[in-house]
Amino acid sequence: MMSGFASCVATLFVLAIVGYPLWKIAERLGYPGPMSLLMYVPFVNIIVLWYLALNPWPVDRGGMRAGPPAAPGV
Instruction: Say if residue 67's pLDDT is above 60.
Output: no
Contact 22, 36 (CB under 8 A): yes
> Tell me, what DSSP letter sits at residue 69?
P
Name the residue among 34, 12, 10 with its Cα closest to residue 22: 34
* 9-66 pLDDT per residue, tens: 999 999 999 999 999 999 998 899 999 999 999 999 999 999 989 998 888 877 555 5
Q: What is the pLDDT of residue 20?
A: 94
pLDDT higher at 74 or 49 = 49
Secondary structure element (H or E) that encloses residue 23, with its range: helix 4-29
